[in-house]
A and B are shown apart, each in its own frame.
Chain A
Amino acid sequence: MSDPMAEIRASFFVECEELLESLQDALAAMGDGEYDGETINVVFRAVHSIKGGAGAFGLDALVAFAHRYETVMDAVRSGQVELSPDAVKMFFNAADYLQDHVRAAQEGDAAPEGADECLQELEVFMGMPMGAEAEEEVSDFQPMGLMLDLDIGELDVGETVPAKETVFTVDFTPHSALFVSGNEPLHLLRAIRGLGALMDVSLDIDRIPDLDALTAEQSYLHWKIRLAGDLREEDIREAFDFIEDVCDLGINREAGEEAPLFSSAGPDTTGQNPSRPADTQPEDSSVAPLTDSANTAPPKVMSSPANKPSATSGGAAGGQKSGSEPSPTVRVDLDRIDRLVNLVGELVINQAMLSQSVTESGFPPNSAVMTGLEAFMMLTRDIQDSVMMIRAQPAKPLFQRMGRIVREASAAVGKEVRLKVEGETTEVDKTVIERLSDPLTHMIRNSVDHGLEMPEQRRAAGKPSEGVITLSAQHRSGRVVIEVEDDGAGINRPKVLQKAIDKGLIAPDAQLSDTEIDNLLFLPGFSTADQVSALSGRGVGMDVVRSAIQSLGGRITIQSEPGKGSIFSISLPLTLAVLDGMVVSVSGETLVVPLNAILETQTLTGADLRKLGPNTNVIHVRGEFVPLYDLGAELGYRGAMETYEGCIVLLTAQENGQRNALIVDQIIEQRQVVIKGLQQAYGHIPGVAAATILGDGQIALILDPADLVQNATGYTRSDFSLAG
């Protein structure tokens, strides 16, 4: 086993992520005007827990920052200062810096720049004492392991030097409250004995009445303890640390030293209290040692100490909004899950091979072997789904990060932007989430920078000056669709077209549809802003976004309406490991087409075919014309066929609704295939998503129909007969 502290440290940072997430949630709720106590408490607790853990690992910068944040939030919690939308915004900013601080602590980097300024702004805004004071508090809080609230630090220095054979007399008179607080003199005396000095204890037995006069839970106890040895007063005092407020304590040093040494230890340190009648001790005295004036308290004050705790009950417990029951969880190393995913992948392949050989062996359909095999296949599928579920995570943390991007980006360009988030509980494969972060960040920046107008332009257009960016996630027909929608001006198509022509990306006389113009944004090196702004001038274009999405087996499309805004949709496979596919053969090659891309299959007759251009054809399907692609020719297996009469076509659909017809030679079967990525070896191959191993051990390419069509020539034989 590795170093346990290192493990705890690692798990601390995992916990920080969770805490930061709940912090974001609560701040978002505040942003929506929820200023209730529990929401504020959640913020407070999250920051507080980060501080507590950070302290354990000596992450001083993080502790200091969290402490100041927490102090401001505590003032809010106690009602000293009030929340406002502006205040929430500042808390949000500070939360971003808190996140940076956590990262910095994790990586061992220097504290993030600007964090202190941000915090100071918040403190000033909230009318808090300045940072200097707060920092002082931190140093007060930090270095102590066990709380020693003893005031002995102010004693003369000589006292801290261990003295040989010092003799102390300790007068110890526990109040009844000492017992109510769960303390026990027995343990205390044992601890004092543990100091190593010679100990002589005597109990003042005469103070204890006889049984008839005794009240069981009242204390009549008084001890005189003599300690002789090599010890310091602090050691003794430390033993009484927890109970100084529920006992009378006098510590005197003998051996001719000038008498009371402890002027700071409380008013009654001389041990004179034995003269006081025992039964006059105020039972409910929760304050420190008695003064002489306390003697005038009426005798027999018997407020039952047992009831005391209930006096304050209700307050802390009652106000709590009961949170949702935490469901028990186990933390597992991701490597183990990935191994499991791989093994299940192998299982699927293996099962396919087994099915094939069983089928070839010619067992009758209802034989025990066949039904057993069917059950086995269902089981395999269940296992697969369950394993994939382990890897699935809600999109929420990803979306929360985008909240920050919006805040930073809008501040940088001086726009007012609100981020609306929908479907953040939608679960997506962990790897997909991780790899979506960069492209999504860029898309959000893009929407802030290019999509939304400046406030004055918006007002001029009759829109609210605050722009809205909606980030949503949902499951749609076996895929995850993530959309970034803005209510901006929409894509300025004439401008885009002009730019593409200026840059020589397209021919000046090209006739492009709206969708085609929109897709120009994805061409390498395209930028629509007249000047490169602080945000998007980073050399990353939408082309990079698109290839990142494609590397995840996903696609990105644009819908835009002038004056109303734009929607960028990313469609992703649910998992990176398995897909349902249709196995087809083209020119002797076996290929897999993802089933979710296929609408229907059809055998062509001459009547379905229409010639469109010299080399392109369409087919007529229920009143619509669909472009025809010859797969064998597009993939370079052979030339275009002589005739398409009697050919089989797969009708596929893209996210944007566009349909295509792909010609194949033969449909072999429909089955689940395990995706084996190609990109590490080959990079992105147009039209090909990945590869798989089939039941017979053969390797087959998995096609990406939409990508294939995008890059296709559309070349289908020009001179085939249209007759029929």
Chain B
Amino acid sequence: MDETNIQSNTAEKLQAFFKKNKGVLTSGDPPYLVQLRNQAFAQFNERGFPHTRLEKWRNTDLSRILDHDFHFPLKPSPLDVDLDEVFRCEVPDFNTRLIPQMNGWFMGSGEKLPNGVIISSMAEAIKKYPELIEKHFGHYADIKNENLTALNTAFFRDGVFIYVPDNIRMEQPVQMVDLVNSGRTIFIQVRNLIVLGKNSSMSLVQCDDSIDNNVGFNNTVTEVYMDENSTLDHYKLQNKNNESALTNSTYFHLEKGANLSTNAISLNGGLIRNETQVRLNGSNSHADVLGLYLMDHEQHIDNQVFIDHAVPHCTSNELFKGILDDHASGVFNGHILVRPDAQQTNAYQNNKNILISDKAVIDTKPFLEIYADDVKCSHGATVGQLDEDARFYLQSRGIGRDNAQMLLMYAFAADIVDKIAIPQLRNRIDDLVKKRLRGELSSCEQCVLHCNSKEQKVAFEIDMSRI
């Protein structure tokens, strides 16, 4: 049996499914992984899906999305799309190493580059690189407190494994593109592991797109280990259809001197929840955790950020900005923990929101938990409308009301877009943000790739290009 239907009581069905298909799920797993799956399953079995009575889930309700007749694929579904066509990169000058994923499955062929870099399917890596996997897999993701991570750990079938050896700097950005396209209602568990060796560096763009309008639930867990003095420039780009749910849990573990920048850009999606946890485990490590969300209709975005300052002399900087229109809703929960030893911590957090309609809502909550005394921590949160004085100023120069509003929203978002370090990616996102603000971005438009149409320069009624 390849798959099963899971009725609206999804948790119970999943539990039954696990028991029934345990043999298939764990086939080829080394003993430690079988044990980990069992532990994770026990956790999930005990607590089920997160619900709104939990503090961390108070404002994000999964019950509506769970009330579907899900299929739970055990194998990649037969393809009815032309992969070459779907994944054809049409962005000029943006030469990335592309890792296509379809419904979570790694679609390329695994490879080990001459410099020792490994890019592989997760399922394959478990067999081919047992030591590397055992050393890291499941060490950073939290199955005790995060039910969705437990679910993923018990049920995952595939995902991406990337290993960058010590002292290797990858010049070419790596781009993971996970498309959900099944022709039916599916629930998938995608598991990725990224390991960066000492003094290594990489740019990683992780895209989550839909190419059909079916209901889908993508529960992805990504673990990232950054060894001493490694650098990661990481982007999450999310453009999903309004029927989809994406729960994305990313666990970063930073050793001494490691430098992380992660930027979550959410353009569309029925329900998106990004759980981003960063453990600053070695001194002088630094994390920039950034995000931009542009939501409308009934869309829901939830960003949960947990920064764990475990040792002294680390810095973290969080900035999330969002624009919410129509009935869209948003949540930002920023938790900074400074452990007793983590002196000389510098942690900064800010969340800024603009509500365009009076029906849009944002729930923003900073939470600083500080047990050391020699630290600098600050937080701020703003919720407002567009600046009327600024709009009047623009209009007084002849710029129409709508265009003035567009310029101001764009300017608000530019704060985050400008921080994208890869110029071609920045330009591309810039275009996508403009399109999004004009209401011209469809969820089938992929983050950096382009489906079915030639790349066209975004023509604005007002010219917002920079000269």
**Does B bind A?**
no
Instruction: List chain B positions with a Cβ less than 8 A from chain A.
Output: none
Give the interface of A toward B (CB within 8 A): none
